[in-house]
Amino acid sequence: MKTPIIIANWKLNGHKLLVEKFSKKIKNIEKNFFKENTIILSPPVIYIQKMKEKIKNKKIFFAAQNVDFNNKGAFTGEISSYMINEIGAKYVILGHSERRKNHNEDNLCIAKKFKSVKKNNLIPILCIGETEQEKKDGLTKNILKNQINQIFLKCGLNSFHKTCIAYEPVWAIGTGKNASPILINKIMKFIKKYIIYKSKNKNTKIYLQYGGSVSTKNIKSIIKSKYVNGVLVGSGSLDYKNFFKIIKISYKIKKNLLK
């Protein structure tokens, strides 16, 4: 895949002013630029509609950072896939380690969300990854398999076709310590092979993202990895200059314009 997918995960950051500024900057960038990149913005969900209206560019996509697995009902504080679809987002980030840890989301809960996202014609961006201890204990592949298997169980063999999977080692998120390109490539290859094997279909198309301390400094070496289709950027996406630099470098590398 020659078109990099670059996702901005703002997490619980941002405010009206940042939304205004960021949107204005994106609007002023040459439109053609966006044809060659898949850019997905994931600000807190209440800002999505505003940003969408301001940017007015069908080539910029939006993702919610979370969703409830119920479609409607007495679930105070929740937002459904149906609603996310209605406000014009196309993707939903699921299973982020911060949600797994801070909101006790287990693999079953995430699989239920995955199902509801797909049912509502949205595209899941499933985050998977091991903790530092699990890595030390040599459990990385087992952890990833468990995180993937539950989706197959709940959503069927075809679940992953045309979805994004973000490999986000927990120890690399927000720490400034990204995984090495060699490790990233190795794990991506494993994920891809495993999903194809499990789905019993070698035409299963998945888009592999790497996430965890991606910056303007390391993007070049990360995006070069053969199996990496793109990156999920957390803190590095809040500053539009940084974020655009990451997009530009990714694009050039994937198009062989930069060595």
CB-based burial, 124-135: b 16+ in 10 Å, e otherwise: bbbbbbbbeebb
CB of 179 or CB of 199, closer to ligand PGA: 179
**Contact set for ligand PGA, span 227-246 (CB under 6 A):** 232-236
The residue count for binding ligand PGA (CB under 6 A) is: 13
Q: How far is CA 21 from the centre of its chain?
A: 23
Task: Verify binding: residue 211, ligand PGA, rule CB under 6 A.
Answer: yes
71: region left, alpha or beta (phi > 0 left; psi from -120 to 50 alpha): alpha
Supply the minimum distance, in Å, between the C-beta of residue 217 and ligand PGA.
12
CB of 45 or CB of 204, closer to ligand PGA: 45
Task: Report yes or no: 166 and 144 within 8 Å, Cβ to Cβ.
Answer: no
Task: Verify binding: residue 164, ligand PGA, rule CB under 6 A.
Answer: no
Burial level of 38, CB count in 10 A (0-12/13-18/19+)?
Answer: buried
Among residues 4, 5, 9, 99, which is the contact residue for ligand PGA, using CB under 6 A? 9
CB of 12 or CB of 17, closer to ligand PGA: 12
Residue 192, both tokens: 């891809």
Active site residues: 96, 168
Single out the segment in contact with ligand PGA by CB under 6 A; choices: 79-87, 132-140, 211-219, 248-256.
211-219
Task: Verify binding: residue 81, ligand PGA, rule CB under 6 A.
Answer: no
Burial level of 226, CB count in 10 A (0-12/13-18/19+)?
Answer: exposed
CB of 199 or CB of 211, closer to ligand PGA: 211
Task: Verify binding: residue 168, ligand PGA, rule CB under 6 A.
Answer: yes
Among residues 122, 144, 214, 219, which is the contact residue for ligand PGA, using CB under 6 A? 214
Single out the segment in contact with ligand PGA by CB under 6 A; choices: 28-36, 115-123, 141-149, 167-175.
167-175
Residue 179, both tokens: 């995984």
Task: Verify binding: residue 213, ligand PGA, rule CB under 6 A.
Answer: yes
Whole-number Å distance between alpha carbons of 250 and 244:
10
Among residues 8, 60, 173, 179, which is the contact residue for ligand PGA, using CB under 6 A? 173
Helices 240-254 and 16-28, interaxial angle, to 10°?
40
Single out the segment in contact with ligand PGA by CB under 6 A; choices: 37-45, 71-79, 166-174, 243-251.
166-174
Which amino acid, residue 251? Y
Burial level of 163, CB count in 10 A (0-12/13-18/19+)?
Answer: buried
Task: Verify binding: residue 124, ligand PGA, rule CB under 6 A.
Answer: no
CB of 7 or CB of 111, closer to ligand PGA: 7
Supply the minimum distance, in Å, between the C-beta of residue 203 and ligand PGA.
29
Whole-number Å distance between alpha carbons of 127 and 144:
10
